[in-house]
Structure 1
Amino acid sequence: MDGLLIDSERIYTEVTNEILGQYGKEMTWDIKAGLMGMPEREAAAHLLSFFPDLPPTFTIDTYLTQRRTGPTLAVRWRRPASRHLHRHGVPLALATGSQRRNFALKSAHLHDTLFGCFEGRVVCPDDGLLAPGRGKPCPDVFLVAAERWLGRRVGVEPAGVEELSERARGLVFEDAVAGVQAGKRAGMNVVWVPDPNLLALAATRSRALNSRTRCSASTPQLVRLSPLQGPALM
């Protein structure tokens, strides 16, 4: 969701660097790439691991509290494939690393223009549907979303032949490396829609992606739909 459907990743970067700037630190894209898509606390722990010389009083909870109470910036929505797919009757579900309260804050004002097409089919890491520590890049969130909200018999590990076949019918859109890994581990088709900064980083360093499929105007043909009208999804 973050960075893919809405531009909240930009806001997270600005607020985080304002917080870290008090200590002369900065979250670069090299660091940010590794925490995108992860559940909130895991992402915070990953971030702070790069700055071991921060004051002992600056804990994960300190960072998260300051981030939540930071400046309020307008969250803009992007032009996603979700509305196109919804118009063509393709069942949709949202599998996000955002806590439920954060999802509500970020999506409430965009229900009519964007999130309404999911019709409440949303999985958040604190919904009690995922085991602790099983957020992205683990495949669980996509499997739960497909099984619970879309009625697909995708099963759990180890999956049988029929379950693997059903998983292969799924199409995941992701902007984060962890999300791409989760989708691939779930046995689904994955379309990577990276931020230009992440794409530039991946071009210079080897990333743990088994396959990289950048989203283009012809992407809907993967699910036998007419091509998207307008520019590529970026």
Structure 2
Amino acid sequence: MTWEIKAGLMGKVQREASEYLFSHFPGLEDKLSIDDYLTERIAMQDELFRRVPPMRGAVALVQSLHKAGVPIALATGSNKRNFELKTAHLPELFGLFDADAILTADSPEVRPGRGKPNPDIFLAAATKLGRDVGSPDAEPTAAQAAERARGLVFEDARPGVAAGVAAGMNVVWVPEPELLALEPDAKFGAKQVLAHLEEWDPKEWGLPPVSFVVPDLK
């Protein structure tokens, strides 16, 4: 599978992503049904999810923001089941988010078909943090637009970048290098594009410093 195909898979729900994948391999469905593929894929993912490492710099960033009292929420395109599988072994990171400020693709606040790249999940996350950012169904007032513009979104996928931009928030895009190489000069509306979170400078955003401690691997 090429990185172009992977880029197209990101942000899609499982069946939609599978149909997209199969469309790039004519004749595959004659040998393997999408239902059978999903069964095998889910079994493999369940095993891999239990040991997925955190993104470089993520633990230090979240711990620092949490310690400084900066309101933080999590808005993921994963469903609740997959999110819990991915995060159960990383309490030092995900345990810092208030449970009410964690939104998944199947949270009741996110209507079916309104996941990323739609802005709904980020607006719902801001609302969970007590911010009046209005509704995705109505034009925001001046005050609501200003509140949206105070939001800072960290994203690794293009649909998430589009969702943050559509929500009127500032987006820091941290893509995998292979994805960035597809369009190295494209920012898709993001305010910053970083190779990893440790490149992020909180001073540029008026936020407290973050200590990105790099382990001694000698």
State the TM-score, normalizing by the size of structure 2. Answer: 0.82
Distance 1:32 1:88, change over 3 A: same
| RMSD of aligned residue pairs (Cα, Å) | 2.3
Pairing partner for 1:136 from 116, 137, 149: 116
The 3 A distance-change label for structure 1 pair 139 and 54 is same
2:193 aligned partner? 214
Q: 1:160 to 1:58 in 2, by over 3 A?
A: farther
Which residue of structure 2 aligns with residue 68 of structure 1? 42
Distance 1:150 1:119 in 2: 10
Asked if structure 2 preserves the Cα contact closer than 8 Å seen for 1:143 and 1:154, the reply is yes
Q: How many residues align?
A: 202
List per-residue Cα deviations over 1:102-126 (Å, max 9, x = no partner): 1111111212x11011121211111
Q: 2:173 aligned to 192, 203, 207, which one?
A: 192
The residue identity in structure 2 corresponding to 1:98 is S
Q: What are the residue-to-residue correspondences of 1:47-196 with 2, within 5 Å?
A: 47-56=21-30, 58-70=32-44, 72-73=47-48, 74-78=51-55, 79-80=57-58, 81-111=61-91, 113-120=92-99, 121-147=101-127, 149-156=128-135, 157-196=138-177
Unaligned runs of 5+ in 2: none
Q: Which residue in the other structure is 1:9 paired with?
A: none
Secondary structure (helix, strand or coil) at the match of 2:88 reads helix
Q: Which runs of 5+ in 1 are unaligned?
A: 1-26
Structure 1's consecutive aligned runs of 4 or more residues displaced over 6 angstroms after TM superposition are none
Query: The residue matched to 1:75 in structure 2 has which SS?
Result: coil
The CA distance in 1 between the partners of 2:187 and 2:32, in whole Å, is 31
Equivalent pairs: percent with the same residue?
Answer: 49
User: What does the per-residue CA deviation read over 1:121-144, in whole Å, with 9 as the maximum and x for residues that have no partner?
Assistant: 211111222222111111111111
Distance 2:189 2:6 in 1: 20
User: What is the rounded CA distance, in whole Å, between the counterparts of 1:105 and 1:211 in structure 2?
Assistant: 29
Counterpart of 1:200, as a letter, is A
Distance 2:35 2:27 in 1: 17
The 3-state SS of whatever aligns with 2:35 is: helix
Aligned residue for 2:16?
42
Q: In the TM superposition, what whole-angstrom CA distance separates every residue of 1:60-106 from its partner, at most 9, and x where no partner exists?
A: 43332211112723211233122221121111111011111111111
CA distance in 2, matches of 1:217, 1:143: 26
